[in-house]
Amino acid sequence: MMAPEVEALAQRLPRPFRDELLLVRALTHRSWCAEFAGHASNERLELLGDAVLGLVVTDYAFRAYPELAEGELAKVRADVVSAVVLAQVATELRLGPAMFLGKGEDASGGRDKASILADATEALIGAVYLDGGWDAASELVLVLLGHRIAEAATGPGVADYKTRLQELAARCFECLPRYEVADRGPDHAKHFSATVVVAGGIRGSGEGRSKKQAEQAAAAAAWQAWKELEAAGSARVVQGTEDLCVDPEVSA
């Protein structure tokens, strides 16, 4: 029979474990094993779970966001599988109270340590993979991280619109976006407007309370313009626009 905290955690997962010992092992920290001989820690499961997690996130992002380039996919994966995010997931799952920790680790606040929680999250994914296969592991990862993948892939998080637009321009046109920024109003209440041009044919404008905000808004508008051109089948490299290929240090 599982401990009440472990049983409660099991109830919060998308599907039940067939082999409950796998769940217990995923929650067993090496500090517990040092005090209670004969128990296996979650370290091997952590290694497996790390690999499964990376593949699930990459596979999902690859299929769900075909417009993302290789570098953007890598950034999505890095953002979602970070130790900080995994520790947050563990906290949301209330995984800490269910862990088996040594007395010293427990007394020093181990149930709230980000590194321990992140490792246990990976171990949990590894345990689910062994217990239920790819479908079970994929379901768990997407339940826990699906909204974070969407935010990383579509929002201004891991790849903001300026970064996306710069990567697009470098990849498709071998030049960089050119921004023109103007401001108005007194120093204590300035308002900025920005216009960006890529390869002479992709333009966007935006406004904001700072130069950065205005440029981001302009980049977002240009990015959307490019996607509309692409969808219409009219996106193409514009020849004779070398004057737009500015020095990266100038446009940074």
Residue numbers annotated as active site = 50, 122
Report the alpha-carbon distance of residue 97 to residue 111 in Å, rounded. Answer: 6
String of DSSP letters for the chain: ---HHHHHHHHHSSS--SSHHHHHHHTB-HHHHHHSTT---SHHHHHHHHHHHHHHHHHHHHHH-TT--HHHHHHHHHHHTSHHHHHHHHHHHT-GGG-B--HHHHHTTGGG-HHHHHHHHHHHHHHHHHHHHHHHHHHHHHHHHHHHHHHHHHSSSSS-HHHHHHHHHHHHTSS--EEEEEEES-GGG-EEEEEEEETTTEEEEEEESSHHHHHHHHHHHHHHHHHHHHHHT---PPSS-GGG---HHHH-
Provide the Cα torsion 201, 207, 210, 214; round to 10°: -20
Place of tokens 């996306």: 164
Report the alpha-carbon distance of residue 150 to residue 201 in Å, rounded. Answer: 29
